Structure 1
């Protein structure tokens, strides 16, 4: 049975954690000029989670970056779900150090390419540009491709190591948009 001292300690730790999270959020908000949300070539239903979060956010410069070549259908779909400052193609994407880029969904293969420093896909080219400009990069936790649990142990470890490598590149996985917006 926990005693009062343990309970008090736990409460203090929770309060400190919350204060630090809020402080980080404020620092990020003061620094950020533009926010870019990157949409993969194919529609993913996990984007609906993103739009639920976005609709709670006001007064921000939020741009949609479409990686799809034929983006007219894609553009129409996302514009019905949220009013972005502007919807742009990869070729129009310019980022600065004060900007932030968010990937609501990212494929496992893309993580492997990023960790291997390859810039051979639209996603990895965009990330390379972000690295070169000092732009902060975030991946939403619910957008990470999950393992099935049936994979060989060595494979699982290798994939986890790729994630560890991208963390070393200062790419952060965030629980939700509230963490940074």
Structure 2
């Protein structure tokens, strides 16, 4: 009787747990191991991997690092629903970041990214999984790449910690690869000299407040929704 009750409780918890999708790139990176070990059973975890990984030592490596993780091949993932889910990219290549920012969907990773945006699903990119600069790049190239990261912020994509429970004030604006630590620790991101207010910013404003913003400030669609829910008014100065 006790075991039956325990199983029922576990089933109910699994049913109510939020779906967490982990998107793997074509090549395995050791940073996946660290990320997988940080996961808990608080989520219904689905690792979406290349089809040829299934049944391979890589699949065994993933399940060994996260025993509560379910592996799904890319082909089978077309039947998954992105609605009300959280997608995490533990490792994101520079080319993948650029394509996602520009809306180029010619890889599985960028097509999944588009699915999430279309479904209004939350997307998080782990900061430690981004490709760092070597320091030898020309400054214009470096700034152009950083601009693509900032574009993703306008899509309400979170760059930082993967776990929403670990959010801290201004966590969204941690320094990106190659930037000084304080570069993005500001009340709103900035793209091409224009300030951007995201849903994360709106969540931090008091309900019923009036927020003074510079002329030309970009307010993302989700930020506008959150502001309307809290009766927040943006006043251009």
Partner Cα separation in structure 2 for residue 88 and residue 167 of structure 1: 28
Q: Which one has a larger percent strand, Structure 1 or Structure 2?
A: 2
Cα RMSD of the aligned pairs, angstroms, is: 1.9
Return the offset for 1:69: 3.6
Contact 2:48 2:71 in 1 (8 A): yes
TM-score by length of 2: 0.58
Q: What is the CA deviation profile of residues 17-60 of structure 1, one whole-angstrom value per residue up to 9, with x for unaligned ones?
A: xxxxxxxxxxxxxx972111111111101112202311xx2342
Partner Cα separation in structure 2 for residue 51 and residue 167 of structure 1: 25
Contact 1:95 1:130 in 2 (8 A): no
1:86–1:51: structure 2 CA closer, same or farther, 3 Å change rule? closer
Tell me which residue corresponds to 1:118. 104
Q: What is the CA deviation profile of residues 103-131 of structure 1, one whole-angstrom value per residue up to 9, with x for unaligned ones?
A: 10000000010111100011001111111
Tell me which residue corresponds to 1:62. 45
Q: Count residues in correspondence.
A: 147
Task: Tell me if 1:71 matches 2:56.
Answer: no
Partner Cα separation in structure 1 for residue 161 and residue 84 of structure 2: 21
Partner Cα separation in structure 1 for residue 63 and residue 144 of structure 2: 38
Aligned pairs for 1:94-109 within 5 A: 94-109=80-95
TM-score by length of 1: 0.75
Which protein is bigger by CA-based radius of gyration?
A: 2
Aligned pairs for 1:32-51 within 5 A: 33-51=18-36
Instruction: With a CA cutoff of 8 Å and minimum separation of 6, indicate the structure with the bigger relative contact order.
Output: 1
Contact 1:64 1:84 in 2 (8 A): no
Tell me which residue corresponds to 2:177. none
Gaps of 5+ in 1: 1-30
Return the offset for 1:91: 2.5
Q: Which one has a larger percent helix, Structure 1 or Structure 2?
A: 1
Task: Tell me if 1:179 matches 2:166.
Answer: yes
Contact 1:139 1:171 in 2 (8 A): yes
Partner Cα separation in structure 2 for residue 142 and residue 168 of structure 1: 20
Gaps of 5+ in 2: 1-15, 168-237
Aligned partner (choices 104, 127, 133) of residue 113 of structure 2: 127
